[in-house]
Amino acid sequence: MDADLFFVIGLGVGVLTVPPILGAMFDGRSPRTAAIMVLISGGMIALASSQKPGGYTINEIPEVVSRVANKYIG
């Protein structure tokens, strides 16, 4: 698979971890599901960064997301 795709999926999973973390904190539960999602997200982003020479910079993120969206969706 494409490193950019892994990166974007990792970012998406990372964004989806915010509601479970907040819900667990407010309910007084331990965020087990959110912790697993953070590990998956971090692993995918690390894998993508290691496959791309030079890695990713913060300024490249919008370009990478739009490139992946155009390639796989549009």
- The per-residue pLDDT for range 3-49, each reduced to its tens digit, is 999 999 999 999 999 999 999 999 999 999 999 999 999 999 999 99
Taking the model in full, what pTM does it have?
0.89
* Cα separation values, 7 from 32, 49, 74, Å: 23, 7, 18
